[in-house]
Chains A and B, each alone.
Chain A
Amino acid sequence: NAGVTQTPKFQVLKTGQSMTLQCAQDMNHNSMYWYRQDPGMGLRLIYYSASEGTTDKGEVPNGYNVSRLKKQNFLLGLESAAPSQTSVYFCASSYVSGGSEAFFGQGTRLTVV
């Protein structure tokens, strides 16, 4: 019953450092998403992938990159972390984009100092 698994759960980065957030789902879902959640704002879409090998920008893609080389994995990269990227990041997956139940990971709390 793994569902959607995100790693790591917590991370502290220095400004300028790079890192990759990992997301894995075992439900054979086609669509995967990366969101960020900031105080006083709803979840905002960073990038999404409608199927293996395809990715598209969401509302707030600047400063991030993604890859979906395998259907079960969706990686979110920060090439040069900035304090504005301090946030809680959620990965989610669904069978189809938006029109089916979405399953969320537990979140990654990222602090950039």
Chain B
Amino acid sequence: KNEVEQSPQNLTAQEGEFITINCSYSVGISALHWLQQHPGGGIVSLFMLSSGKKKHGRLIATINIQEKHSSLHITASHPRDSAVYICAALLRGSRLTFGEGTQLTVNP
């Protein structure tokens, strides 16, 4: 069982919809990263958080340390948000461990 699990694996939405991608981890962590990978492969860091909530534009990331769970929300989704979203957990005393990613497709 992977120490970091994401759901769903694939998500298709209509433009304008509110989107949630979930990430669960099985052990204590120091920090959690959300990354975005566009077609063509480049990876961009969206957020790094260790508690609470962060917001950047239409993107919101939350983390619940007690429940070992983080969510990435996209409000008013747009086709340009289509990408793979990856969560990565910094497990205590270790390096980043990555989820398998969520393929998001937003249709116009």
Given known contacts A41-B100, A58-B95, A102 and B30 CB-to-CB distance under 8 angstroms: no
Q: Give how many B residues have a beta carbon under 8 Å from the other chain's beta carbons.
A: 23
The total number of A-B Cβ pairs within 8 Å is 57
The B interface, classified by DSSP as helix, strand, loop or mixed, is: strand
Chain B proximity mask over A34-67: 1 for CB below 8 Å, otherwise 0: 0100001111110010000000001000000000
Contact of B48 among A33, A45, A101 (CB under 8 A): A101
Residue B106 at the chain A interface, CB threshold 8 Å:
no
Total number of A residues with any Cβ neighbor in B under 8 Å? 24
Query: Closest residue of chain A to B29, judged by CB?
Result: A98
Interface residues of B in 1-42 (CB under 8 A from A): 2, 4, 30-31, 33, 35, 41-42
B90–A43 touching, CB < 8 Å: no
Which residues of A does B touch, CB under 8 Å?
A: 33, 35, 40-45, 48, 58, 88, 90, 92, 97-104, 106-107, 109
B residues with CB within 8 A of A: 2, 4, 30-31, 33, 35, 41-45, 48, 86, 88, 90, 94-101
